[in-house]
Structure 1
Amino acid sequence: MLDIKTIWKKYSEIDSQELIILFSLAIRQSKEFVLSHTDYKMSCLERWRLWWLTKRHKQGWPTAYLARHKEFYGLNFLVNKNTLIPRSSTESMVELVIENLKNNHSEPRKMLIDIGTGTGCIPISIIKTLNDSNIKTIATDISKKALRVAKQNAQRHNVDIQFIHGDLLKPFINNYSAIINNRRLFITANLPYLTQNWIKSEPGIQKEPISALLSDNKHGLSLYEKFFQQIKFIILNFNSSPSIFIEIDSRQSVMAMELAKKYFPKAKIEIKKDLARRDRILTIYQN
């Protein structure tokens, strides 16, 4: 039987970090085991598994889909083809929201709403970190299949989140007062913000759900404009002053800022950078 070190050479064209994951899946051991046991003799079944995994990888399937999980903010999340894969760039938004919630610790009644929750990684990471029973949390998604994954992740991490199927803030508008119930509101959203051309230029995302990536073919902000319209309606009709945190592409920062100013001219609006120092988070604080 051949060992890991010998077989590794056959697949050396694959990124080493990705290949470690594929080996760990093939032999059903940890990544640490793969690195520390390069003399491990792989059975025929394990070599077949590795061949199948590398074949799928070369076809464009992300390792997260092959592994069926992805680490985000120190937690492990279930993923499948119906959910966007959590990305490290989004962790910066999680950090920012946690900081804001901590700064409002004296506020006894808070509510966190995550729009377009996908795997649920944003609200789950926030609530798991803070462990604050005063924060009521709701997450929505237009995809019922994505919500099923998010519910599994919430159960997996033992956090109390109410999941609602619906389009952006629409589930709240007709019953806003009863749902929010005078709570200090924090809203997070990582909505589809890519154009068709941007998606075509990024081969690594071709297997992810198009509905979780594509916004429009103009500037990628059409869903956020609809989202802002709904928030403005809530502000005007329910005397609410939510703090809003949304993820954008760095190429959209100027347009996103202008769009936010159009709908919230009196708000404090800022662009924050992610860990790679790229414009990534648009924050809107109502006065």
Structure 2
Amino acid sequence: MESFYKFYRVFQNTLKDLYPEYKELETIFFLLTTHIFQCDKTTILLRLSRKEKINFFTYDKLIKKLWELKKNRPIQYVIGETYFFGMKFTVNEKVFIPRPETEELVYWILQDHKDFNHDHPVQVFDIGTGSGCISITLKKKKPEIVHVHAIDSDPEAINIARKNAKLHHVKISLKNVDILKYGMYMPPKISKNVVNIIVSNPPYVRLSEKKLLHPNIVQYEPSQALFVPDEDPLIFYKKISFWIKKRLTGIVYVYFEINQFIYLDIIDFLKTKGFLNIEIKRDFQGFFRMVRAVYYANQNN
């Protein structure tokens, strides 16, 4: 039998060149071990300090996971889960790994809409839902939202989102639609006084920026959820905005996660399309990462 301490040393030596930041490496170690042993970080620390033994079967499992990490596979895919807003979500290579920046976007929505007016039912459209983390969190935190429509072009992503909705016991509408090819899904109108919230973390990294990303992102995360052509980096924002203008009625609140390098282009585009009250916000790293706008759609559409 091997000891916890020995695995810890092997882990550090194997990954120190890939993850030179000590804190990041420690985080990955505890994510892996708490998952395998189904315990908390304190328990792992105690087992480490006591140099407790690990049975051969479990040690072999740990080593196999370690070799996956050595190949640059993100820890979230290695263990098949991640946390978003303190809630556990199933993930695999078919969905983009939820990021803290997206948590900030969701928090912004929740802060803006603390008190829902029941005279004006609210429906949410989450475009490019991936794991479903945005839709599920909004419905979980605000069950009074009448309808949440989670839309994605990849049927396998929809399946992951469905599993996560079931995991968190929330009812959302999941639709497999490629908005670039077929336009947007439109549910039956629930009321002429409906308030629409559109939220999207669409692909926005230009192909020329690929070299700026960590290798594990480029190698393992779905490229269709990341990249847009350099010649048309606003392609998804254009499609969504066109759909809003053409199909929705009433007041529409729009929340987008954006590329910090072209935030001025996004602001200019929204202004030209008639969006009002445009506000840009920095993320926790200080980058302009999200934008909010309001559109007053033609009630006669």
What is the TM-score normalised by the length of structure 2?
0.85
Indicate whether 1:156 and 2:179 are aligned: no
Superposition pairs of residues 137-286 of structure 1, within 5 angstroms: 137-168=148-179, 170-173=183-186, 178-182=188-192, 183-202=194-213, 203-206=215-218, 207-218=220-231, 220-234=233-247, 239-264=249-274, 267-286=276-295
Q: CA deviation at 1:31?
A: 3.6
Cα distance between partner residues in 2 of 1:86 and 1:194: 16
Give the structure 2 partner of residue 99 of structure 1.
111
Tell me which of 22, 25, 43 is aligned to 2:32. 22
Whole-angstrom CA distance in 1 between matches of 2:208 and 2:68: 24
CA distance in 2, matches of 1:231, 1:282: 16
Q: In the aligned structure 1, how far is the partner of 2:291 from the partner of 2:232?
A: 16
Q: Give the Cα–Cα distance (whole angstroms) in 1 for the partners of residues 63 and 209 of structure 2.
A: 31
Question: By how many angstroms is 1:49 displaced?
Answer: 1.7
Matched AA of 1:86: P
Q: 1:117 to 1:257 in 2, by over 3 A?
A: same
Task: Report the counterpart of residue 5 of structure 1 in structure 2.
Answer: 5
**Which residue among 81, 84, 88 is the counterpart of 1:76?**
88
Contact (CA 8 Å) 2:253, 2:295: kept in 1 or not? yes
**Structure 2 SS opposite 1:11:** helix
Q: Which runs of 5+ in 1 are unaligned?
A: none
| Pick aligned residue for 1:44 from 56, 60, 76 | 56
C-alpha distance in structure 1 between counterparts of 2:127 and 2:190, whole Å: 15
Which region of structure 1 is more displaced relative to structure 2, 240-249 or 86-95?
240-249
Structure 1 residue 25: Cα displacement: 4.0
Distance of 2:190 and 2:284 partners within structure 1: 33
| Number of residue pairs matched by the alignment | 279
Cα distance in structure 2, aligned partners of 1:34 and 1:157: 27
Secondary structure of the equivalent of 2:227?
Answer: coil
SS of aligned partner of 2:123: strand
Answer yes or no: is the 8 Å Cα contact 2:184–2:243 preserved in 1: no
Task: Tell me, in whole angstroms, the C-alpha distance in 2 between the residues paired with 1:48 and 1:220.
Answer: 45
Deviation at 1:209, TM superposition (A): 0.6
Contact 2:129 2:161 in 1 (8 A): yes
| Percent of matched pairs sharing the same residue | 24
Q: Post-superposition shift, 1:154?
A: 0.7
Partner of 1:70, secondary structure, is strand
Tell me: CA distance 1:205–1:51, structure 2 relative to 1, closer, same or farther (3 Å): same
CA deviations over 1:46-76 (Å, ceiling 9, x no partner): 2222221111112111000011111000110
Say if 2:128 and 2:150, in contact at 8 Å, map to a contact too: yes
Task: For 2:111 and 2:93, locate their aligned partners in 1 and report how far apart those are by CA, in whole Å.
Answer: 32
Q: 1:248 to 1:146 in 2, by over 3 A?
A: same
RMSD over aligned CA atoms reads: 2.1
Q: More deviation in 191-200 or 110-119?
A: 191-200
Q: Aligned equivalents of 1:54 and 1:217: distance in 2? A: 36
Q: 1:42 to 1:220 in 2, by over 3 A?
A: farther
Task: For residue 117 of structure 1, give the secondary structure of its aligned residue in structure 2.
Answer: coil
Q: Which residue in the other structure is 2:299 paired with?
A: none
Distance, in Å, in 1 between the alignment partners of 2:114 and 2:87 is: 20
Alignment TM-score, normalising by the size of structure 1 = 0.89
